[in-house]
Amino acid sequence: MFAGVLIGVNSVDRGRAEGGFPVQTQEQSRFRKFDAQINDNSARMMEEGKNTFRFETFGDEAFWGDALRLHQAIEGDKFGGVGAGLSLQAAIDLVGAILHDFASCSRHSR
């Protein structure tokens, strides 16, 4: 009977390190490292995505500035632009109307 108890204690204790904590297998260690790599990559990609949508213009500057020269029309002759220029409120109203029309067109083109 004493031999049976020793065998039982030995087999129960086989999966534990000193202090009673389970021993980490190589496979568990590999998965933990892989999980850490996934977490690092996802955090990096989220940061890159935030920066893209905060600072990337997606060609808007070329369209509004180069093609339409909107900034020059808003400035007017007095400030180096073209035409009579616009007041701040008129410029805001114009941009709002353009964006509304653009959103309306893009909804209908789907």
Give the tens place of pLDDT for each residue, 10-45. 554 455 455 556 677 888 888 889 899 999 999 999
pLDDT for 53 beyond 50:
yes
- Per DSSP, the three-state class of 22 is strand
Angle value at C-alpha 95, between 108 and 80, nearest 5 degrees: 140
CA 50 to mean position of chain CA atoms? 4
pLDDT in the model for residue 6: 45
- Per DSSP, the three-state class of 23 is coil
One domain for residues 66 and 110 = yes
Instruction: Please indicate, yes or no, if residue 30 is contained in any of the structural domains.
Output: yes
Q: State if pTM tops 0.85.
A: no
One domain for residues 64 and 105 = yes
Instruction: Please indicate, yes or no, if residue 11 is contained in any of the structural domains.
Output: no
Short-list 97, 96, 90, CA closest to 73 = 90
Q: Average pLDDT, whole number, for the chain? A: 78
One domain for residues 35 and 52 = yes
pLDDT for 78 beyond 60:
yes
Domain hosting 43: range is: 25-56
Short-list 79, 56, 59, 77, CA closest to 68 = 59
Tokens of 49: 């995505």
